[in-house]
Structure 1
Amino acid sequence: MVAPNGGTRRTRREVLAAGAATVAGGVAGCLDSGAGAVSVLSAGSLARTFEEHVGPAFESETGIELRGEYYGTNALIRMVEDRTKHPDVVVSADAALLRDRLYGSVTDWDVAFAANSLGIGYDTRTRLGSRLDAGDPWYELAPNADSDDISIADPDLDPLGYRAVQGFELAGRTHDLPTLKRRMLGIVYREPEEPQLVTGVTTGSRAAAIVYRNMAVDHGIGFSEFPAEYNFADPDLADHYATVEYTTDGGYTAPGRPILYNVTVCDDADAPAAGRRFVEFLADNPDRLTAAGLSVGEELPRAAGDIPEAIDP
Protein backbone atom coordinates (compact mmCIF):
# COMPACT_ATOMS: atom_id res chain seq x y z
CA MET A 1 0.00 0.00 0.00
CA VAL A 2 1.08 3.60 -0.56
CA ALA A 3 1.55 5.86 2.46
CA PRO A 4 0.41 9.51 2.44
CA ASN A 5 3.93 10.64 1.64
CA GLY A 6 4.42 8.16 -1.17
CA GLY A 7 6.16 5.49 0.90
CA THR A 8 4.95 1.97 1.47
CA ARG A 9 2.65 0.94 4.27
CA ARG A 10 3.50 -2.48 5.59
CA THR A 11 1.81 -4.93 7.89
CA ARG A 12 3.24 -5.81 11.29
CA ARG A 13 4.32 -9.19 9.92
CA GLU A 14 6.24 -7.56 7.05
CA VAL A 15 7.93 -4.97 9.25
CA LEU A 16 8.87 -7.55 11.87
CA ALA A 17 10.20 -9.88 9.19
CA ALA A 18 12.38 -7.05 7.95
CA GLY A 19 13.46 -6.43 11.53
CA ALA A 20 14.49 -10.05 11.94
CA ALA A 21 16.67 -9.77 8.87
CA THR A 22 18.27 -6.70 10.43
CA VAL A 23 19.56 -8.54 13.47
CA ALA A 24 22.48 -10.05 11.62
CA GLY A 25 23.43 -6.75 10.01
CA GLY A 26 22.15 -3.50 11.48
CA VAL A 27 22.06 -4.68 15.08
CA ALA A 28 25.46 -6.28 14.96
CA GLY A 29 26.82 -3.09 13.43
CA CYS A 30 25.29 -1.08 16.23
CA LEU A 31 26.83 -3.18 18.95
CA ASP A 32 30.17 -3.53 17.21
CA SER A 33 30.36 0.23 16.82
CA GLY A 34 30.54 0.60 20.57
CA ALA A 35 27.46 2.83 20.70
CA GLY A 36 26.48 2.59 24.36
CA ALA A 37 23.55 5.02 24.25
CA VAL A 38 20.89 6.46 21.99
CA SER A 39 19.47 9.95 22.49
CA VAL A 40 15.70 10.12 22.06
CA LEU A 41 13.70 13.34 21.82
CA SER A 42 10.14 12.25 22.43
CA ALA A 43 6.58 13.41 22.94
CA GLY A 44 6.03 14.03 26.63
CA SER A 45 3.09 11.64 26.79
CA LEU A 46 5.57 8.78 26.41
CA ALA A 47 7.91 9.89 29.21
CA ARG A 48 6.94 7.25 31.75
CA THR A 49 6.27 4.65 29.03
CA PHE A 50 9.83 4.99 27.78
CA GLU A 51 11.55 5.47 31.13
CA GLU A 52 9.79 2.63 32.97
CA HIS A 53 8.68 0.17 30.30
CA VAL A 54 10.60 0.51 27.07
CA GLY A 55 13.99 1.89 28.13
CA PRO A 56 14.97 -0.74 30.70
CA ALA A 57 13.89 -3.59 28.41
CA PHE A 58 15.73 -2.06 25.45
CA GLU A 59 18.95 -1.73 27.43
CA SER A 60 18.62 -5.27 28.80
CA GLU A 61 18.22 -6.70 25.29
CA THR A 62 20.77 -4.58 23.42
CA GLY A 63 23.16 -3.08 25.97
CA ILE A 64 22.23 0.38 24.65
CA GLU A 65 21.07 2.99 27.16
CA LEU A 66 18.05 5.12 26.24
CA ARG A 67 18.68 8.76 27.09
CA GLY A 68 15.34 10.49 26.72
CA GLU A 69 14.13 14.07 26.76
CA TYR A 70 10.41 14.79 26.67
CA TYR A 71 8.44 17.79 25.42
CA GLY A 72 5.28 18.62 23.56
CA THR A 73 5.69 17.43 19.98
CA ASN A 74 5.33 20.90 18.43
CA ALA A 75 8.00 22.18 20.79
CA LEU A 76 10.46 19.35 20.19
CA ILE A 77 10.09 19.59 16.42
CA ARG A 78 10.95 23.27 16.63
CA MET A 79 14.04 22.30 18.63
CA VAL A 80 15.10 19.89 15.89
CA GLU A 81 14.37 22.41 13.13
CA ASP A 82 16.41 25.19 14.73
CA ARG A 83 19.12 22.77 15.92
CA THR A 84 18.55 23.57 19.59
CA LYS A 85 18.53 19.80 20.13
CA HIS A 86 20.53 17.18 18.25
CA PRO A 87 18.91 13.81 18.99
CA ASP A 88 19.51 10.47 17.32
CA VAL A 89 15.80 9.63 17.38
CA VAL A 90 12.64 11.74 17.22
CA VAL A 91 9.28 10.39 18.43
CA SER A 92 6.10 12.31 17.59
CA ALA A 93 2.58 12.06 19.02
CA ASP A 94 1.21 13.20 15.65
CA ALA A 95 2.59 11.21 12.73
CA ALA A 96 1.51 13.76 10.12
CA LEU A 97 3.16 16.60 12.05
CA LEU A 98 6.55 14.89 11.93
CA ARG A 99 6.18 14.19 8.22
CA ASP A 100 4.99 17.72 7.42
CA ARG A 101 7.79 19.41 9.33
CA LEU A 102 10.84 17.14 9.23
CA TYR A 103 10.67 15.28 5.91
CA GLY A 104 13.17 16.73 3.46
CA SER A 105 15.32 18.42 6.10
CA VAL A 106 15.99 15.98 8.94
CA THR A 107 14.65 12.67 7.65
CA ASP A 108 12.66 11.12 4.83
CA TRP A 109 11.12 8.12 6.58
CA ASP A 110 9.32 7.00 9.73
CA VAL A 111 7.62 4.04 11.35
CA ALA A 112 4.21 4.46 12.99
CA PHE A 113 4.16 2.14 15.99
CA ALA A 114 1.27 2.89 18.39
CA ALA A 115 -2.09 4.62 18.77
CA ASN A 116 -3.91 6.19 21.69
CA SER A 117 -7.22 7.71 22.76
CA LEU A 118 -8.28 10.99 24.37
CA GLY A 119 -10.29 11.45 27.55
CA ILE A 120 -10.40 13.15 30.91
CA GLY A 121 -8.12 11.99 33.71
CA TYR A 122 -9.12 12.92 37.25
CA ASP A 123 -8.44 12.73 40.96
CA THR A 124 -11.20 10.64 42.54
CA ARG A 125 -10.71 12.49 45.85
CA THR A 126 -12.03 15.76 44.40
CA ARG A 127 -15.69 16.64 44.01
CA LEU A 128 -15.36 16.77 40.23
CA GLY A 129 -13.41 13.52 40.13
CA SER A 130 -15.83 11.66 42.38
CA ARG A 131 -18.74 12.61 40.15
CA LEU A 132 -16.84 11.59 37.03
CA ASP A 133 -16.01 8.31 38.75
CA ALA A 134 -19.71 7.82 39.43
CA GLY A 135 -20.39 8.12 35.70
CA ASP A 136 -21.78 11.64 35.47
CA PRO A 137 -21.19 13.11 31.97
CA TRP A 138 -17.98 15.14 31.81
CA TYR A 139 -19.54 17.62 29.40
CA GLU A 140 -22.15 18.56 32.01
CA LEU A 141 -19.67 18.78 34.90
CA ALA A 142 -16.53 20.27 33.37
CA PRO A 143 -17.94 23.58 32.04
CA ASN A 144 -19.06 24.42 35.60
CA ALA A 145 -15.72 23.64 37.23
CA ASP A 146 -13.69 26.33 38.94
CA SER A 147 -11.21 28.25 36.81
CA ASP A 148 -7.92 26.33 36.39
CA ASP A 149 -9.42 23.22 38.03
CA ILE A 150 -8.97 21.39 34.71
CA SER A 151 -5.81 21.55 32.62
CA ILE A 152 -4.96 20.92 29.01
CA ALA A 153 -1.59 20.84 27.29
CA ASP A 154 -0.61 24.06 25.54
CA PRO A 155 -2.12 23.69 22.05
CA ASP A 156 0.63 25.81 20.52
CA LEU A 157 3.29 23.41 21.82
CA ASP A 158 1.65 20.03 21.80
CA PRO A 159 -0.77 17.89 19.75
CA LEU A 160 -2.40 16.81 23.02
CA GLY A 161 -3.33 20.44 23.55
CA TYR A 162 -4.78 21.06 20.12
CA ARG A 163 -6.59 17.74 20.26
CA ALA A 164 -8.23 18.88 23.50
CA VAL A 165 -9.44 22.04 21.77
CA GLN A 166 -10.62 20.05 18.76
CA GLY A 167 -12.28 17.55 21.10
CA PHE A 168 -14.24 20.32 22.81
CA GLU A 169 -15.56 21.46 19.44
CA LEU A 170 -16.56 17.98 18.32
CA ALA A 171 -18.11 17.25 21.73
CA GLY A 172 -20.21 20.39 21.43
CA ARG A 173 -21.59 19.12 18.14
CA THR A 174 -22.06 15.57 19.42
CA HIS A 175 -23.99 16.61 22.53
CA ASP A 176 -25.74 19.65 20.99
CA LEU A 177 -23.88 22.06 23.27
CA PRO A 178 -22.81 24.90 20.95
CA THR A 179 -21.09 26.90 23.73
CA LEU A 180 -19.10 23.97 25.17
CA LYS A 181 -15.80 24.80 23.46
CA ARG A 182 -15.97 28.48 24.41
CA ARG A 183 -16.86 27.67 28.01
CA MET A 184 -14.10 25.10 28.36
CA LEU A 185 -11.44 27.37 26.90
CA GLY A 186 -12.54 30.03 29.36
CA ILE A 187 -11.77 27.91 32.43
CA VAL A 188 -8.95 25.50 31.59
CA TYR A 189 -5.33 25.99 32.59
CA ARG A 190 -2.87 25.58 29.71
CA GLU A 191 0.07 23.55 30.95
CA PRO A 192 3.25 24.41 28.99
CA GLU A 193 5.13 21.27 30.11
CA GLU A 194 3.28 18.17 28.92
CA PRO A 195 4.99 15.76 31.38
CA GLN A 196 3.60 17.96 34.19
CA LEU A 197 0.02 17.64 32.98
CA VAL A 198 -0.84 14.56 35.03
CA THR A 199 1.44 15.63 37.88
CA GLY A 200 -0.97 18.48 38.51
CA VAL A 201 -3.72 15.91 39.08
CA THR A 202 -1.66 13.52 41.22
CA THR A 203 -0.39 16.32 43.48
CA GLY A 204 -3.82 17.88 43.98
CA SER A 205 -3.12 21.09 42.04
CA ARG A 206 -5.83 20.21 39.52
CA ALA A 207 -8.96 18.11 39.75
CA ALA A 208 -8.66 16.83 36.18
CA ALA A 209 -6.81 17.08 32.88
CA ILE A 210 -7.51 16.20 29.27
CA VAL A 211 -5.00 13.40 28.65
CA TYR A 212 -4.23 10.33 26.60
CA ARG A 213 -5.26 6.97 27.97
CA ASN A 214 -1.69 5.77 28.51
CA MET A 215 -0.93 8.79 30.70
CA ALA A 216 -3.78 7.90 33.05
CA VAL A 217 -2.69 4.25 33.11
CA ASP A 218 0.93 5.22 33.80
CA HIS A 219 -0.01 7.40 36.77
CA GLY A 220 -2.90 5.36 38.16
CA ILE A 221 -5.50 8.14 38.02
CA GLY A 222 -9.15 7.87 37.09
CA PHE A 223 -9.91 8.07 33.39
CA SER A 224 -13.08 8.58 31.41
CA GLU A 225 -12.46 7.94 27.74
CA PHE A 226 -14.28 10.25 25.39
CA PRO A 227 -16.75 8.72 22.92
CA ALA A 228 -15.38 7.63 19.55
CA GLU A 229 -16.81 10.78 17.96
CA TYR A 230 -14.09 12.85 19.65
CA ASN A 231 -11.49 10.55 21.23
CA PHE A 232 -9.44 10.51 18.00
CA ALA A 233 -8.94 6.76 18.30
CA ASP A 234 -11.05 5.39 15.44
CA PRO A 235 -9.38 5.41 11.99
CA ASP A 236 -12.81 4.89 10.42
CA LEU A 237 -13.81 8.34 11.71
CA ALA A 238 -10.84 10.14 10.17
CA ASP A 239 -13.06 12.22 7.88
CA HIS A 240 -15.21 13.24 10.83
CA TYR A 241 -12.19 14.25 12.91
CA ALA A 242 -10.89 16.29 9.99
CA THR A 243 -13.89 18.63 10.16
CA VAL A 244 -12.08 20.54 12.95
CA GLU A 245 -8.65 22.10 12.93
CA TYR A 246 -6.29 24.21 15.03
CA THR A 247 -3.66 26.70 13.89
CA THR A 248 -0.72 27.12 16.23
CA ASP A 249 0.95 30.44 17.00
CA GLY A 250 3.72 29.29 14.66
CA GLY A 251 1.29 29.11 11.76
CA TYR A 252 0.95 25.31 11.49
CA THR A 253 -2.64 24.20 10.85
CA ALA A 254 -3.43 20.74 12.18
CA PRO A 255 -6.70 19.11 11.16
CA GLY A 256 -8.27 16.64 13.53
CA ARG A 257 -6.88 13.17 12.87
CA PRO A 258 -6.51 9.81 14.62
CA ILE A 259 -3.80 9.71 17.29
CA LEU A 260 -0.76 7.95 15.87
CA TYR A 261 2.80 7.86 17.22
CA ASN A 262 5.74 7.57 14.86
CA VAL A 263 9.49 7.44 15.14
CA THR A 264 12.46 8.27 12.92
CA VAL A 265 16.24 8.48 13.08
CA CYS A 266 17.74 11.84 12.14
CA ASP A 267 19.99 11.94 9.08
CA ASP A 268 22.78 13.52 11.14
CA ALA A 269 22.39 11.27 14.19
CA ASP A 270 25.54 10.64 16.22
CA ALA A 271 24.50 7.00 16.77
CA PRO A 272 22.38 6.09 13.74
CA ALA A 273 22.75 2.32 14.13
CA ALA A 274 21.63 2.50 17.75
CA GLY A 275 18.73 4.68 16.63
CA ARG A 276 17.65 2.16 14.03
CA ARG A 277 17.87 -0.58 16.64
CA PHE A 278 15.54 1.43 18.87
CA VAL A 279 13.03 1.79 16.02
CA GLU A 280 13.17 -1.96 15.48
CA PHE A 281 12.67 -2.58 19.20
CA LEU A 282 9.47 -0.49 19.21
CA ALA A 283 8.18 -2.43 16.21
CA ASP A 284 9.13 -5.80 17.68
CA ASN A 285 7.62 -5.31 21.14
CA PRO A 286 3.95 -4.26 20.96
CA ASP A 287 3.23 -6.00 24.27
CA ARG A 288 5.42 -3.53 26.14
CA LEU A 289 3.48 -0.67 24.57
CA THR A 290 0.03 -2.09 25.29
CA ALA A 291 1.07 -2.81 28.89
CA ALA A 292 1.72 0.93 29.21
CA GLY A 293 -1.78 1.81 27.99
CA LEU A 294 -1.11 2.37 24.28
CA SER A 295 -2.90 0.58 21.45
CA VAL A 296 -1.18 -1.46 18.76
CA GLY A 297 -3.65 -2.77 16.20
CA GLU A 298 -2.99 -5.22 13.42
CA GLU A 299 -2.19 -2.35 11.03
CA LEU A 300 0.84 -1.38 13.11
CA PRO A 301 3.77 -1.00 12.85
CA ARG A 302 3.53 0.79 9.50
CA ALA A 303 6.46 2.18 7.56
CA ALA A 304 6.39 5.32 5.40
CA GLY A 305 8.91 7.09 3.24
CA ASP A 306 12.37 5.94 2.15
CA ILE A 307 13.07 3.32 4.82
CA PRO A 308 16.82 2.72 5.42
CA GLU A 309 18.23 -0.58 4.22
CA ALA A 310 19.19 -1.53 7.78
CA ILE A 311 15.52 -1.48 8.76
CA ASP A 312 13.87 -2.48 5.49
CA PRO A 313 16.39 -4.41 3.37
Structure 2
Amino acid sequence: MPRMALLLRRRFLVAATLIVIGFPSIAPAQSAPLKGELVVFNAGSLGLPFRNLLKAFKKANPEVRTSQESAGSLESARKVTELGKTPDILAVADYAIIPKLLIPAHADWYATFATNSLVLAFRTESQGALEINIQNWYRVLLRPGIRTGRSDPALDPAGYRTLMVWQLAEQYYQQPTLARLLTNASPPRYMRPKEADLTALLQLGELDYIWTYASIA
Protein backbone atom coordinates (compact mmCIF):
# COMPACT_ATOMS: atom_id res chain seq x y z
CA MET A 1 0.00 0.00 0.00
CA PRO A 2 1.39 3.47 -0.89
CA ARG A 3 2.84 5.37 2.06
CA MET A 4 0.66 8.44 1.36
CA ALA A 5 -2.51 6.32 1.52
CA LEU A 6 -1.46 5.01 4.93
CA LEU A 7 -0.78 8.54 6.15
CA LEU A 8 -4.21 9.69 4.98
CA ARG A 9 -5.95 6.90 6.85
CA ARG A 10 -3.95 7.36 10.03
CA ARG A 11 -4.32 11.13 10.17
CA PHE A 12 -8.03 11.02 9.42
CA LEU A 13 -8.55 8.46 12.20
CA VAL A 14 -6.49 10.52 14.64
CA ALA A 15 -8.44 13.68 13.77
CA ALA A 16 -11.75 11.83 14.04
CA THR A 17 -10.79 10.40 17.43
CA LEU A 18 -9.86 13.85 18.75
CA ILE A 19 -13.23 15.24 17.66
CA VAL A 20 -15.15 12.31 19.16
CA ILE A 21 -13.48 12.76 22.56
CA GLY A 22 -14.08 16.50 22.53
CA PHE A 23 -11.08 18.24 20.99
CA PRO A 24 -12.37 19.47 17.60
CA SER A 25 -9.74 22.20 17.27
CA ILE A 26 -6.78 19.85 17.61
CA ALA A 27 -5.19 18.41 14.47
CA PRO A 28 -2.25 16.01 14.29
CA ALA A 29 1.07 17.59 13.39
CA GLN A 30 2.32 16.88 9.89
CA SER A 31 5.58 17.62 8.12
CA ALA A 32 4.24 17.85 4.57
CA PRO A 33 0.84 18.51 2.95
CA LEU A 34 -1.24 15.40 2.41
CA LYS A 35 -2.40 14.58 -1.10
CA GLY A 36 -4.50 11.87 -2.70
CA GLU A 37 -7.99 10.48 -2.17
CA LEU A 38 -9.68 9.41 1.05
CA VAL A 39 -12.67 7.09 0.50
CA VAL A 40 -15.13 6.38 3.31
CA PHE A 41 -17.96 3.83 3.34
CA ASN A 42 -20.26 4.35 6.32
CA ALA A 43 -23.55 3.17 7.77
CA GLY A 44 -26.51 5.45 7.12
CA SER A 45 -26.72 6.45 10.78
CA LEU A 46 -23.10 7.63 10.59
CA GLY A 47 -23.62 9.66 7.43
CA LEU A 48 -23.92 13.10 9.04
CA PRO A 49 -21.09 12.80 11.59
CA PHE A 50 -18.70 11.41 8.99
CA ARG A 51 -19.73 14.09 6.52
CA ASN A 52 -18.76 16.68 9.12
CA LEU A 53 -15.51 14.86 9.89
CA LEU A 54 -14.58 14.74 6.21
CA LYS A 55 -15.41 18.42 5.81
CA ALA A 56 -13.14 19.32 8.73
CA PHE A 57 -10.38 17.03 7.43
CA LYS A 58 -10.66 18.54 3.95
CA LYS A 59 -10.40 22.04 5.40
CA ALA A 60 -7.19 21.08 7.21
CA ASN A 61 -5.87 19.19 4.16
CA PRO A 62 -7.16 21.01 1.05
CA GLU A 63 -5.16 18.87 -1.38
CA VAL A 64 -6.94 15.69 -0.28
CA ARG A 65 -9.95 14.55 -2.32
CA THR A 66 -12.64 13.06 -0.11
CA SER A 67 -15.39 10.63 -1.10
CA GLN A 68 -18.24 9.26 1.01
CA GLU A 69 -20.78 6.49 0.39
CA SER A 70 -23.60 5.92 2.88
CA ALA A 71 -25.52 2.63 2.91
CA GLY A 72 -26.66 -0.06 5.31
CA SER A 73 -23.78 -1.59 7.25
CA LEU A 74 -24.12 -5.03 5.67
CA GLU A 75 -24.47 -3.49 2.22
CA SER A 76 -21.33 -1.42 2.84
CA ALA A 77 -19.40 -4.50 3.91
CA ARG A 78 -20.58 -6.43 0.85
CA LYS A 79 -19.26 -3.69 -1.41
CA VAL A 80 -15.87 -4.85 -0.16
CA THR A 81 -16.39 -8.61 0.04
CA GLU A 82 -18.54 -9.11 -3.07
CA LEU A 83 -17.91 -6.12 -5.35
CA GLY A 84 -14.20 -5.81 -4.67
CA LYS A 85 -14.29 -2.14 -3.71
CA THR A 86 -11.60 -0.88 -1.33
CA PRO A 87 -12.42 2.11 0.89
CA ASP A 88 -9.87 3.66 3.19
CA ILE A 89 -12.34 3.70 6.08
CA LEU A 90 -15.33 1.42 6.66
CA ALA A 91 -17.60 2.58 9.51
CA VAL A 92 -20.49 0.28 10.44
CA ALA A 93 -23.27 0.34 13.02
CA ASP A 94 -22.52 -3.19 14.24
CA TYR A 95 -18.85 -3.87 14.94
CA ALA A 96 -19.46 -7.65 14.79
CA ILE A 97 -19.78 -7.34 11.01
CA ILE A 98 -16.06 -6.65 10.65
CA PRO A 99 -14.60 -9.79 12.29
CA LYS A 100 -17.40 -11.88 10.80
CA LEU A 101 -17.17 -10.73 7.17
CA LEU A 102 -13.93 -8.80 6.68
CA ILE A 103 -11.17 -10.23 8.86
CA PRO A 104 -8.73 -11.60 7.81
CA ALA A 105 -9.31 -11.41 4.05
CA HIS A 106 -10.14 -7.70 3.81
CA ALA A 107 -9.08 -6.10 7.10
CA ASP A 108 -6.47 -6.54 9.82
CA TRP A 109 -8.05 -4.66 12.72
CA TYR A 110 -10.96 -2.52 13.85
CA ALA A 111 -11.84 -0.17 16.69
CA THR A 112 -15.12 0.61 18.44
CA PHE A 113 -15.65 4.33 18.97
CA ALA A 114 -19.29 5.01 19.91
CA THR A 115 -22.54 3.47 21.12
CA ASN A 116 -26.17 4.15 20.24
CA SER A 117 -29.71 3.20 21.22
CA LEU A 118 -32.63 1.92 19.16
CA VAL A 119 -35.78 4.00 19.61
CA LEU A 120 -39.33 4.24 18.30
CA ALA A 121 -39.67 7.68 16.72
CA PHE A 122 -42.90 9.46 15.81
CA ARG A 123 -44.43 12.88 15.13
CA THR A 124 -46.90 14.68 17.36
CA GLU A 125 -49.38 14.23 14.48
CA SER A 126 -48.86 10.46 14.28
CA GLN A 127 -51.88 8.30 15.03
CA GLY A 128 -51.86 7.44 18.72
CA ALA A 129 -49.04 9.88 19.51
CA LEU A 130 -50.92 11.52 22.38
CA GLU A 131 -51.45 8.26 24.24
CA ILE A 132 -48.48 6.03 23.41
CA ASN A 133 -46.21 5.15 26.33
CA ILE A 134 -43.80 2.50 27.55
CA GLN A 135 -46.62 0.16 28.53
CA ASN A 136 -48.89 0.32 25.49
CA TRP A 137 -46.60 1.10 22.53
CA TYR A 138 -46.95 -2.34 20.99
CA ARG A 139 -50.75 -2.17 21.21
CA VAL A 140 -50.67 1.16 19.39
CA LEU A 141 -48.46 -0.27 16.64
CA LEU A 142 -50.87 -3.18 16.15
CA ARG A 143 -53.88 -0.96 15.52
CA PRO A 144 -55.35 -1.05 12.01
CA GLY A 145 -54.09 1.78 9.84
CA ILE A 146 -50.88 2.43 11.80
CA ARG A 147 -47.87 2.60 9.46
CA THR A 148 -44.60 1.53 11.10
CA GLY A 149 -41.33 1.71 9.19
CA ARG A 150 -38.16 -0.30 9.73
CA SER A 151 -34.96 -0.99 7.85
CA ASP A 152 -34.16 -4.18 5.96
CA PRO A 153 -32.67 -6.78 8.35
CA ALA A 154 -30.75 -8.31 5.44
CA LEU A 155 -28.90 -5.05 4.81
CA ASP A 156 -28.88 -2.99 7.98
CA PRO A 157 -28.13 -3.70 11.67
CA ALA A 158 -31.04 -1.49 12.76
CA GLY A 159 -33.28 -3.86 10.82
CA TYR A 160 -32.25 -7.04 12.60
CA ARG A 161 -32.00 -5.22 15.92
CA THR A 162 -35.61 -4.16 15.50
CA LEU A 163 -36.55 -7.83 15.22
CA MET A 164 -34.55 -8.49 18.38
CA VAL A 165 -36.43 -5.71 20.20
CA TRP A 166 -39.72 -7.33 19.25
CA GLN A 167 -38.54 -10.72 20.48
CA LEU A 168 -37.41 -9.20 23.78
CA ALA A 169 -40.71 -7.32 24.10
CA GLU A 170 -42.59 -10.58 23.63
CA GLN A 171 -40.82 -11.96 26.70
CA TYR A 172 -40.88 -8.76 28.76
CA TYR A 173 -44.61 -8.07 28.31
CA GLN A 174 -45.45 -11.79 28.35
CA GLN A 175 -47.29 -11.54 25.05
CA PRO A 176 -46.92 -14.77 23.04
CA THR A 177 -46.62 -14.25 19.25
CA LEU A 178 -46.03 -10.49 19.74
CA ALA A 179 -42.91 -10.52 17.55
CA ARG A 180 -44.82 -12.17 14.71
CA LEU A 181 -47.71 -9.73 15.05
CA LEU A 182 -45.38 -6.71 14.97
CA THR A 183 -43.62 -8.14 11.91
CA ASN A 184 -46.95 -8.52 10.12
CA ALA A 185 -47.92 -4.97 11.13
CA SER A 186 -44.76 -3.60 9.48
CA PRO A 187 -44.89 -5.18 5.99
CA PRO A 188 -42.18 -4.88 3.31
CA ARG A 189 -43.77 -1.78 1.77
CA TYR A 190 -42.79 0.10 4.95
CA MET A 191 -39.22 -1.23 4.83
CA ARG A 192 -36.19 0.64 3.48
CA PRO A 193 -32.53 -0.39 2.92
CA LYS A 194 -31.26 1.64 5.89
CA GLU A 195 -32.83 3.36 8.86
CA ALA A 196 -31.70 6.82 7.71
CA ASP A 197 -34.05 6.47 4.70
CA LEU A 198 -37.06 6.31 7.03
CA THR A 199 -36.65 9.75 8.59
CA ALA A 200 -37.92 11.70 5.59
CA LEU A 201 -40.94 9.40 5.26
CA LEU A 202 -41.82 10.05 8.90
CA GLN A 203 -41.40 13.81 8.49
CA LEU A 204 -43.62 13.80 5.39
CA GLY A 205 -46.33 11.92 7.24
CA GLU A 206 -46.05 8.82 5.06
CA LEU A 207 -45.22 6.78 8.16
CA ASP A 208 -46.57 7.13 11.69
CA TYR A 209 -43.68 5.45 13.52
CA ILE A 210 -40.17 4.32 12.65
CA TRP A 211 -37.57 2.20 14.39
CA THR A 212 -34.31 4.12 14.24
CA TYR A 213 -31.25 5.17 16.22
CA ALA A 214 -31.44 7.82 18.93
CA SER A 215 -28.62 9.73 17.23
CA ILE A 216 -30.78 10.51 14.18
CA ALA A 217 -34.26 10.51 15.74
> What's the TM-score, normalizing by structure 2?
0.77
* 1:76-87 equivalence runs, <5 A: 76-87=76-87
1:140 to partner: Cα distance: 2.3
Conserved 8 A contact 1:129-1:208: no
1:88 counterpart residue number: 88
Unaligned runs of at least 5 residues, structure 2: 1-16, 19-26
Query: Could you say if the C-alpha distance between residues 108 and 187 of structure 1 is closer, same or farther in structure 2, counting changes exceeding 3 Å?
Result: same
Correspondence for 1:151 among 145, 149, 152: 149
C-alpha deviation, 1:181, in angstroms: 0.5
Q: What's the CA shift for 1:205?
A: 1.1
1:136: Cα distance to partner? Answer: 6.5
Number of paired residues?
A: 189
Pairwise mapping of residues 61-80 of structure 1 onto structure 2 (< 5 A)? 61-63=60-62, 64=64, 66-80=66-80
Cα deviation for residue 214 of structure 1 reads 0.5
The structure 2 residue matched to 1:164, chosen from 162, 165, 177, is: 162
Q: Which moved more, 1:60-69 or 1:162-171?
A: 60-69
Q: Scaled by the length of structure 1, what TM-score is found?
A: 0.55
- When residues 145 and 44 of structure 1 are mapped into structure 2, their CA distance, relative to the original with a 3 A threshold, is farther
Distance between the aligned counterparts of 2:53 and 2:157, measured in 1?
Answer: 22
Contact kept, 8 Å, 2:196 with 2:212, in 1: the verdict is no
**Structure 1 residue 76, shift from structure 2 partner:** 1.2
Q: SS where residue 95 of structure 1 aligns?
A: coil
Give the aligned residue type for 2:168. Answer: L
Task: Tell me the alpha carbon deviations over residues 212-259 of structure 1, each in whole angstroms, 9 at most, x when there is no partner.
Answer: 10110xxxxxxxxxxxxxxxxxxxxxxxxxxxxxxxxxxxxxxxxxxx
Corresponding residue for residue 6 of structure 2: none
Instruction: Name the counterpart of 1:141.
Output: 140
Partner letter of residue 122 of structure 2? Answer: Y
Q: CA deviation at 1:60?
A: 3.0
Residues 175-202 of structure 1: per-residue CA shift (max 9 Å, x gap): 1112210111001122124431211101
Give the Cα–Cα distance (whole angstroms) in 1 for the partners of residues 130 and 50 of structure 2. 30
Change (3 A) 1:183 1:108: same
- Give the letter for the 1:117 counterpart: S
Stretches of structure 1 lacking an aligned partner (at least 5 in a row): 1-14, 17-21, 217-313
Alpha-carbon distance, 1:79 to partner: 1.1
Residue of structure 1 equivalent to 2:28? 23
Partner of 2:199: 198
Structure 1 residues 109 and 124: alpha-carbon distance in aligned structure 2, compared to 1, 3 A threshold = same
1:60 partnered with 2:65: no
After superposition, give the CA deviation of every residue in 1:82-119 in whole Å (9 maximum; x if it has no partner).
Answer: 23533211011111111111011111111111000011
RMSD: 2.4
Query: Contact 1:143–1:180 (CA<8 Å) still a contact in 2?
Result: no
Q: 1:129 to 1:84 in 2, by over 3 A?
A: farther
The 8 Å contact of residues 121 and 208 in structure 1, kept in 2 or not, is answered as yes
1:213 paired to 2:214:
yes
How has the CA–CA distance of structure 1 residues 196 and 202 changed in structure 2, closer, same or farther, with 3 Å as cutoff? same
What is the aligned partner in structure 1 of residue 43 from structure 2? 43
1:127 Cα shift? 1.8
Say if 1:116 and 1:213, in contact at 8 Å, map to a contact too: yes
CA change 1:96–1:120 in 2 (3 A) is: same
Structure 2 match to 1:103 = 103
CA distance in 2, matches of 1:121, 1:74: 23
Give distance in 2, aligned partners of 1:213 and 1:119.
Answer: 6
